[in-house]
Amino acid sequence: MSDAIQLLMDTLGCQEKTAESMKTMLQSAGISEIQDILLVEDKIYHILKITDDRQQIYYAWVGRGYFLEKITQDTPDGKMIYHAMQ
């Protein structure tokens, strides 16, 4: 198990398979190797502040059922690099 998967499991409280899927989705959106994840408080979503190995900051909105809603770059209101189809 990679460090990124363990970070996702610890932060989201999810199982390994869910963390593996989340890591794959994050990387397909352009996030390089995950170095750090912080949980940002929100009433509706789990908002993850992710730092990759290039020291780039991303924010990922994870909804119920660990559904990845969107990812922004630099700030929560920054450039959207991923948005789930509705």
The pLDDT tens digits for 40-65 are 988 899 999 999 999 999 999 999 89
Which pLDDT value is given to residue 26? Answer: 95
The predicted model gives 79-85 an average pLDDT of: 93
Neighbours of 10 (CB within 10 A): 12
CA separation for the pair 49, 56 (Å, rounded)? 10
Number of domains in the chain: 1
CA separation for the pair 43, 26 (Å, rounded)? 22
Domain range holding 37?
3-83
The answer to whether the CB of 25 falls within 8 A of the CB of 35 is no
pLDDT at residue 1 is higher than 80: no
CA separation for the pair 86, 74 (Å, rounded)? 24
